[in-house]
Amino acid sequence: MHNVEIEQIVLGSILMDNRLFQVVSEKISSFDYFEPLHAEIHGIAETLISMGKQASPISVVTFLPSDFKILNLTAREYLARLAAASTIPTEVPQLADMIRDLSDRRALNGVATELGRAGSGDPGQMATEAIERLDAILAARTVSGVPSLSMEQSIARAMDAAAKAYQRDGAISGLSTGLKDLDRKLLGLQRGELVVMAGRPGSGKTAVSLCLARNMAERGHKGIFYSLEMGDVQLSQRMLTDEAYDAEKIAYSWLRSGRFRENQFLAIRDAGYRLQCLPVRIEQQPSMTMGQVATRARQQKRSKGLDFFIIDYLGLMKPSGRYAGNKTNEIGELTAGIKALAKELDCVGLLLCQLSRGVEGREDKRPNMGDLRDSGNIEQDADVIVMIYREAYYLERKEPPAGSAEYLVWSDRMQACYNEMHLIVEKQRSGPIGTVKVFCDVASNAIRDHGYQRAEDLNQMAI
């Protein structure tokens, strides 16, 4: 599965006209050549051209061993043969594509051969490794076609974006979260960006993420929810109580225990009818690798389209093993991979993370970026970081004895903040930071705009 003559023509064309190297490098790298010498010549040419020097048979030959021999030809003679094999510039891109196709076929054949040799191994492990190898081939092919831009082209794109922003007159430019104040702060969730949402266990990370998934899907956006912790039934129960919340206040734990009235069941049934049509798929495999996440996302993008994906949560993802024992590098590999995937697929990547226990020991328990576990890489890769803070989360863990004076103070404060959540935008690469207040009822998984009140509650107040 190779064609040395095509490799000779492409390399010869580059050596005769260095301007072709940019076109070729967008399609192939030195690793795609079958002949090792051709890979070496490609690398030498790349080095010379990047330094602003001419890559010609005369300059390249100085980097090859003086005793070099191939096909009974010296290095100088072989480079002269390459130059003689050059073709017209318009044919070079198509020939580079052919080299890439042959390279991919050799890689695929290699995967099949390895699977055949390991026939007695664990089938699950073999399948996982094969998927990751195949996905790496697909990822390399996808990314390699991204063109470079001149300053003129880049400025033109920026001016076009500014003109569109002016026409929006302050309206959001990304995917709407369904939460007005959060949309104003972020201008929506932007395609190609990594959004990190972090909080302590039980603070409401999953509730917020499911709310955003539902709101985006209701606006027609297609998504994947990677649940590495909960099963699909648990997630769906939470979404049902959230969807039904405006009509009936139902804790999702009641669905598990059966403690609900007939009218509440009817509200859940109606919510189910609405939710089952949403374009969101749940992936519930635990300990997924970055390769598995990427494979499913790319499949969805190709088959049905993909506008966002949500991973719940980072700490449960399985690193590749490349940095075994180095937690910081393992986290960095995952966050960089998630960010690259969001950019490649032009969709929103929302990643949930847990905060460290350090926040528990402080008087002021409002989190900051330093509370992220292995925060250096997360801070670096994230385009947006949102911290989740609920005062009630900490108050309910310090309930004084009933009937005491302290209990009355605690009860008043608890009632005042019970349905309040702060979404603290700690980082926004392209916008302001600050705090967004929202309404929450964590027991029902319901997240709404700040100041929200259920119609039934308002009616009772009027009475």
Amino acid occupying residue 47: T
pLDDT band at residue 405, thresholds of 50, 70 and 90?
A: confident
Residue 294's nearest CA partner among 354, 245, 343, 233 is: 343
Q: Which residue has the higher pLDDT, 117 or 191?
A: 191
DSSP class per residue in 386-430:
EEEE-HHHHHGGGPPPTTSHHHHHHHHHHHHHTTEEEEEEEEETT
Q: Is residue 142 predicted with pLDDT exceeding 70?
A: no
Residue 342's nearest CA partner among 108, 175, 458, 151 is: 175
Q: Spell out the long-range contacts of 258-267 with Cβ–Cβ below 8 A and sequence spacing 24 or more.
A: none
Q: Is residue 105 predicted with pLDDT exceeding 60?
A: yes
CB atoms near residue 180 (< 10 Å): 15
pLDDT band at residue 164, thresholds of 50, 70 and 90?
A: low
Amino acid occupying residue 212: L
pTM more than 0.85: no
Residue 308's nearest CA partner among 263, 340, 342, 336 is: 342
8 A C-beta contact, residue 27 and residue 141: no
pLDDT band at residue 393, thresholds of 50, 70 and 90?
A: confident
8 A C-beta contact, residue 60 and residue 79: yes
Question: What is the model's pLDDT at position 143?
Answer: 43
Question: What is the model's pLDDT at position 165?
Answer: 61
pLDDT tens per residue across span 430-454: 889 999 999 999 889 999 999 888 7
pLDDT tens per residue across span 257-287: 888 888 888 888 898 889 888 999 998 887 7
110-115 average pLDDT score: 72
8 A C-beta contact, residue 225 and residue 286: no
Question: What is the model's pLDDT at position 144?
Answer: 42
Question: What is the model's pLDDT at position 344?
Answer: 86
398-420 average pLDDT score: 87
354-374 average pLDDT score: 81
Q: Spell out the long-range contacts of 454-457 with Cβ–Cβ below 8 A and sequence spacing 24 or more.
A: 454/245, 454/246, 454/249, 455/246, 456/249
pLDDT tens per residue across span 250-259: 888 888 888 8
DSSP class per residue in 303-324:
HT--SEEEEE-GGGSBP-STTT
67-88 average pLDDT score: 85
8 A C-beta contact, residue 180 and residue 174: no
Cβ neighbours of residue 374 under 8 Å, at least 6 residues apart?
327, 328, 331, 332
What domains can be seen in the chain, in order of their start residue? Answer: 4-144 (1.10.860.10), 175-462 (3.40.50.300)
Detail the DSSP E strand segments found in 119-263.
194-199, 223-227
The 8-class DSSP code of residue 448 comes to E
Amino acid occupying residue 419: N
